[in-house]
Amino acid sequence: MHDRLSAATDSVVRVTRSGKSIQRNVLIKSNFVSRKELRKRLNPQYQTLKTRNMKISMILAIFALTANTTSIMAQQKIKQTAGREQLGEFAPKFAELNDDILFGEVWSRTDRLGLRDRSLVTITSLISQGITDSSLTYHLQTARQNGITRSEISEIITHISFYAGWPKAWAAFRLAKDVWAEDSAADDAKAAFQKQMIFPIGEPNTAYAQYFTGNSYLAPISREQVVVSNVTFEPRCRNNWHIHHAKSGGGQMLIGVAGRGWYQEAGKPAVEILPGTVIHIPAGVKHWHGASADGWFAHLAFEIPGEESSNEWLEPVTDEEYDKLK
């Protein structure tokens, strides 16, 4: 027998394994296909191994993304010009020390102490000394930019008051109230949740809003090789029942990133998703996923490559169904 088979039409191929003959119809699209390649295509174990290796590659890609993000954050450089702008002519050396040493070197050592923590230390020091002028205002604004939320600054100043004095806290609160005036409770919760994960929350998921109950956010993580997105859900938010269709391959994989959420297949109990939980969703399975009722939730969504893939969006998950979950 020749090692290669010529085919222009459907062929019947016999594969012998453990003394048993298995007959399958195979459409050979190329002019020549080796027997070895045919055996691989017909072997379920080979297909399973191929899928498993692909999923392992996806998980390794997450670690690469995590390491890269951490590295970028550690290299942040602070540029300050206030010293030269305000005191450059009158006290040039002081301006140089302020801009280049204090901010250019000390504040920029984010690999040793993050900007958020440096802001916390600085405003604590200023309030304790009773400095409630424009210096404190500037550092309160910087603290907000560095991720300190409205509820956190309220707790921070309250804590400081017992050690630095009640009048100093009153003065600091007047400034802080103006700095965080535009922040709502929802913004505060969103900012607090962002600090729990390295991936961005992203923008409002308006393109798919019609298929969600509640507010969700979408942040593209990768659009090359494997499509990966970080999907964030506000409390009680969930997507509709839906199905990932594919002629072959396809489906989806989820990995919990932060918070607590749920995944449920039709006819089966819901499964809790925590950070690190991996959910494998085969093509053709009706399911939904979303946040718990008491907190924000985020997961990475991996699109598994498949042939003739599509999504079918179905009915919403009712409050009655959702409220049964604890």
CATH code for the domain in which residue 160 is found: 1.20.1290.10
68 found inside a domain: no
Q: Are residues 166 and 227 in the same domain?
A: no
* Long-range CB pairs of 113-121, under 8 A, 24+ apart, other chains included: 114/73, 114/146, 115/76, 115/78, 115/146, 115/147, 116/143, 116/146, 116/147, 116/148, 118/146, 119/143, 119/146, 119/148, 120/148, 120/156
What was the pLDDT predicted at 284? 97
Do 214 and 318 lie in a common domain?
yes
At 264 the pLDDT is: 97
Q: What tens digit of pLDDT does each residue of 211-244 get?
A: 999 999 999 999 988 899 999 999 999 999 999 9
Q: Give the tens place of pLDDT for each residue, 269-313.
A: 999 999 999 999 999 999 999 999 999 999 999 999 999 999 999
Residue 278 domain-assigned (yes or no) = yes
Q: What is the CATH number of the domain that holds 293?
A: 2.60.120.10
CA dihedral 126, 130, 132, 136 (to 10 degrees): 0
pTM of the model: 0.56
Confidence of residue 90 (pLDDT cuts 50, 70, 90): very high
Q: Are residues 207 and 315 in the same domain?
A: yes
Residue 316 and residue 246 share a domain: yes
What's the domain range around 87? 81-194
Q: For residues 114 and 188, state if they share a domain.
A: yes
Q: What is the mean pLDDT of the chain?
A: 82
Residues of the chain with pLDDT > 70, as a percent, come to: 77
Question: Is 222 a domain residue?
Answer: yes
Total of domains in the chain: 3
